[in-house]
Structure 1
């Protein structure tokens, strides 16, 4: 075993924050195994503390800034 973490799947709309139930955008993979999911707010609140304890943080909050593509002309 190399100790490297397996890549994680991108978070989807069904992934919910373990703290408040909102859509999750942050995954904390814990050093001892397991993971926690957080919304952007709780990810910011707990992220640095978890990182300091050895968790690997996968932050997808940049997706909140994405603008959806407009529909094609023939679908407007």
Structure 2
């Protein structure tokens, strides 16, 4: 065992914030094992203290800025 963390899979709409239940965009992998999921708000609120405690933070909040694909006129029918 090298001590390296295994890669994490992307968060989905089914992943929910452990504080409020909103969609999760931040995963905190804890140094002692386990993980916490947070919405963007709670990720910002707790991110620095989790990093200071040795957690690895996977932040996907940039997905909030993505523009969803729009339907073409043929698809709208």
TM over 0.5: yes
* TM-score after normalising by structure 1: 0.92
CA deviation map 1:1-55 (0-9, x unaligned): 1000000000000000000000000000000000000000000000000000000
- Counterpart for residue 26 of structure 1: 26
**Structure 1 unaligned regions, length at least 5:** none
Supply the distance in 2 between the matched residues of 1:57 and 1:50 (Cα, whole angstroms): 8
- Counterpart for residue 72 of structure 2: 71
Supply the distance in 2 between the matched residues of 1:4 and 1:71 (Cα, whole angstroms): 45
> Which consecutive segments of 4 or more residues in structure 1 shift more than 6 A?
none
Supply the distance in 2 between the matched residues of 1:9 and 1:46 (Cα, whole angstroms): 21
**Structure 2 unaligned regions, length at least 5:** none
Secondary structure of the 1:28 match is: strand
User: By how many angstroms is 1:71 displaced?
Assistant: 3.8
Label 1:2 to 1:25 Cα distance change in 2 as closer, same or farther (>3 A): same
User: By how many angstroms is 1:75 displaced?
Assistant: 4.4
Count of residues in correspondence between the two structures: 76
* TM-score after normalising by structure 2: 0.91
